[in-house]
Every structure is written in C-alpha cells, then in structure tokens.
Amino acid sequence: MSIVCIIPARYASSRYPGKPLATLRGPTGSEKTLIERSWRAACEVADFDAVYVATDDTRIADHAESFGAKVLMTSTEARNGTERCAEALEQLGDDVEIIVNLQGDAPLTPPWFLSALVAGLRADPDAALATPILRCDGETLAALKADRAAGRVGGTTAVADASMRALYFSKEVIPFTAQTYADDADTPVFHHVGVYAYRPDALRAYPTWPVGPLETLEGLEQLRFLEAGQVVRCVEVAAQGRKFWELNNPEDVPRIEAMLAEMGLP
C-alpha cells in the first residue's frame, strides 16, 4: 500500500489569481514559482512513494512538467483542494493507503510536519483525516491579529479537544485572548497548517456530502468533515526553528521571501 502526496493547484482565485505561478526569490537570487517550491518541499519527504500536481489548468500543468513533476489533470468542477484530490485519487487505482494533500500555497512546510501527519493518522484508526497544528508564539499571533485587523486572512486557527480531535477551524483568531505575549512566548492559539492526510474511503465520500453552513461561512474545506460527523485528528507539530507562513495574499510574497532568506533556503 502506498502513500501519495497530491498538490492541488488552480489558476483562478478570487484573492490571488494565478497564485501557483507567482514567483518567489530565494536569498541567492534564484526564482522559483510557488508550485515548484511546494513540489520540492514534498519531494523531501521520505514517507511519500509518489508526488503529483493536480490541476485543471494547462498553464500550471505545462509549468509543473517543465520542472519534472508528475501531473494529474482534473475537472474545473472541483470546488476546493480536497475535491480536486478526490478526483485525482480516482486516477491512481486502489493500492493507496494514505493520500496527503499539500496545498500549493505552503512551500515552507517542513518535511517533518508531513511525516508526523502520516504517523498521526495511522495512530487514530477512527479518524477520517489528520491535519497538523502549530502552537503560535507571540510574534505569529500578533501577525495573525494584524492581518485580521487589516481585513486580510493571514492564516487559519484550530481548536481541539483534550484527545486532539478537532472542534473547529476558523479564519478568525480563536480562541480569544486579550493577553499580550512576548515574541518568543507560547500562546494558547494554534495555527492550522493547511495540509491533510486522508483515508481513501473518506476522501472518496467527501464530494458526495453537502456543503454545510460552516464551510460556506468560513470558506474552509475541512469543516465539511466536521459537519458530516467525521473525526478529524489534529497533530501538533514543532517548528524546530523554522518559520512557517502560507501565501494567501500578494502582500505575503515579501514576507515569505524574507523567511526563505532567514532559513537559507534557495
């Protein structure tokens, strides 16, 4: 049984059209697109037997093939990355144990996040999927709050129960805390890392479930699992000194380029 990573990518985006092809400059001056950096991050994970880019756009497909990625073409009907992964799964046959969805806007995802995610799903046989969460330090929490105050979505936060099963995900900063934290201090807020590991049966069922009010309001695909009564396993991961941020808005490009430079990533 294999573990495959699928990177869903679409050109059309209400907040950032063409985002997968946005160029990020590394500290050496090397320019790579967002989708290439995400693919290279996935290729660093030893747990994966194969890595694919799933897209409905020939511009993205042609570019992905130019740097060596395997591409699965999907329809324009997929409403989010999980639905696109479900379409891609149908092209891969039955010999798949776990499907990891590494969203193409998260090129700074450390490989140990993804390994921990696979282990977390295997450890919870009742879970339909697993997703990583990262405890915010004071600096990250302040950045999330600043983005929301400016009307931008800077990231998603997660709340889990005592057994690390998800209670809710939100583009708001939850839980609320009025406390001020030092930049390097731990906070009670967890940043949801937009990566998922699915069991095949749950992923195949996902497109058949109705889109509920919470998914509609928040615009978060993982809420469909919760609204359908599925168990979502949260796996706490540690940054180990690595900075992490998703590219959600054009304004995030210089922030991520600065993180690339800080970490010495080409």
- Print pLDDT tens along the chain (266 aa): 699 999 999 887 666 678 888 888 877 777 889 899 899 989 989 999 999 999 999 999 999 999 999 999 999 999 999 999 999 999 998 889 999 999 877 777 888 999 999 999 999 999 999 999 999 999 999 999 999 999 888 789 999 999 999 999 999 999 999 999 999 999 999 999 889 999 999 999 999 999 999 999 999 999 999 999 999 999 999 988 776 667 776 777 777 877 777 766 67
Which of 168, 231, 237, 157 is CA-nearest to residue 198?
231
Whole-number Å distance between alpha carbons of 29 and 208: 45
pLDDT, residue 156, reads 93
Which of 203, 204, 192 is CA-nearest to residue 166?
192
pLDDT, residue 244, reads 64
pLDDT, residue 165, reads 97
CB atoms within 10 A of CB 7: 30
pLDDT, residue 258, reads 79
Cβ contact 88:72 at 8 Å: yes
CB atoms within 10 A of CB 256: 23
Whole-number Å distance between alpha carbons of 135 and 55: 31
Instruction: Using DSSP, state whether 233 is helix, strand or coil.
Output: strand
pLDDT, residue 15, reads 66
